Amino acid sequence: MRTTSVEKPKSIHSPEEPRRNHGIPLELGCLKQVQVNKSAAERRAATLIARRTVKKQWQAAWLLKGVSCIDLTTLAGDDTPGRVRRLCAKARHPVRADLLEAMGVADLGITVGAVCVYPSMVSHAVQALEGSGIPVASVAAAFPAGLSSMKSRLEEIHFALQEGAAEIDIVITREHVLTGNWQALYDEVAAFRNACGDAHLKTILATGELSTLRNVQKASFVSMMAGADFIKTSTGKEAENATLPVSLTMVRAIREYREQTGYAVGFKPAGGLRTAKDAMTWLILMKEELGREWMEPELFRFGASSLLTDIERQLEHHVTGRYSAQHHHPLP
């Protein structure tokens, strides 16, 4: 194995957390002004894919940053406590120690951004991650369809919090967006935010089911007005999940909201992100559209599982010049 160091990032985690979004009153007037040029969004997204990306040790450094922004996720019907414990073990040590040593970054203490599980698995994840500083995120509020009663959705949030979740990923009622009932969407997200208390709220828009980019942008604004700490593209269960045009639309809404209110809202693409190239593309999107601040786990997360495997394979190629088989970098 050859030794090949990377340029160390200034920090894996930002020393100061951004100012939390407390929300603002619903402003229907600004929603009437929302316009999204789909063709322009697609052209801009295409430039992110086509451009020459960073290479060599700089690419390795970007990929290590990407690792620190992953919400390592298991949301399968056959999840077990054992699988969750194995996932948490990987979350603590997401990249093989020999690779970190060869790159000269073994002292950085790199971990993933969070572990994301169903509410019934939260306690097992909390126990497995004790002392690591890695937060546990739980999907809730009738994930993934979001079609249960408000009472049961709030009860699920409370249960996840009681089990030890520090972050809650809720899914909105798509009907409110498709029918233009923005007050109902605002009230729903505000109720979830209130139920979360000190825990951070990630609001899943399920963008593949919202029909238009204009709907995506309006739903983004309303969710942020209602106090969402993050806006997230997808549950990972829709036919279409995170795409670059949708992500561009959402991050530009975040930028405008920051300019208007001073609040920094995070962004989480989820579903369909599987390769190191995907990680690089979305990191570049965040850097160019929102700036360096949004390349930290406090404001950016990937919702993913298999993404980590390919990043680790790319890092091994950087160190050894060879691509290894996927089973050399297993996830549960």
pLDDT for 9 equals 47
pLDDT of residue 11: 43
pLDDT at 13: 43
209 vs 38: CA distance, rounded Å: 16
Residue 232 a catalytic site member? yes
Residue pLDDT, tens place only, 179-233: 999 999 999 999 999 999 999 999 999 999 999 999 999 999 999 999 999 999 9
What's the one-letter identity of residue 209?
E
Question: How far is it, in rounded angstroms, from Cα 151 to Cα 172?
Answer: 14
Q: What is the mean pLDDT of each run of 10 residues along the chain (332 residues)?
A: 50 57 94 93 90 84 97 96 97 96 96 98 98 98 96 98 98 98 98 98 97 97 98 94 96 97 97 94 96 97 93 95 78 72
The answer to whether the CB of 157 falls within 8 A of the CB of 140 is yes
For 297-328, give one letter per residue: b (16+ CB within 10 A) or e: bbbbbbbbbebbbbbbbbbbebbeeeeeeeee
Phi, psi of 171 (to 5 degrees): -120, 135
Contact 280, 312 (CB under 8 A): no
HSE of 300, CA atoms in CB hemisphere, 13 A: 26
112 and 72 Cβ atoms separated by less than 8 Å: yes
Listed as own residue / partner, the contacts of 286-289 with beta carbons closer than 8 Å and 24 or more positions apart are 286/251, 288/48, 289/248, 289/251, 289/252, 289/255
Residue 162: its pLDDT value, please? 98
- Strand pairing partners for 177? none
Catalytic residue among 90, 218, 232, 310: 232
- For the chain, the structural domain boundaries read 31-328
Helix (H), strand (E), coil (C) string for 200-235: EEEEECCHHHCCCHHHHHHHHHHHHHCCCCEEECCC
Strand order in the sheet with 136-140: 266-268, 230-232, 200-204, 167-171, 136-140, 114-117, 70-73, 302-304
Task: State residue 16 phi and psi, 5-degree precision.
Answer: -125, 130
Please tell us whether the domain made up of 31-328 is placed in CATH 3.20.20.70: yes
Is residue 268 annotated as a catalytic residue, yes or no?
A: yes
Q: What is the b/e burial string over 245-266, where b = at least 16 CB atoms within 10 angstroms of the residue's CB? A: bbbbbbbbbbebbbeebebbbb
Q: Name the catalytic one among 65, 71, 268, 310.
A: 268
- Residue 169 near residue 204 (C-beta atoms within 8 A): yes
Q: Identify the pLDDT of residue 18.
A: 73
CA 325 to chain centre: 27
- 169 has catalytic annotation: yes
Q: Are strands 167-171 and 200-204 parallel, antiparallel or unpaired?
A: parallel
pLDDT for res 54: 83
What's residue 52's pLDDT?
64
Residue of 169, 229, 278, 310 with catalytic role: 169
CA distance 301 to 234: 13
pLDDT computed for residue 50 by the predictor: 81
DSSP helix/strand/coil, 277: helix
67: β partners: none
pLDDT number for residue 14: 43
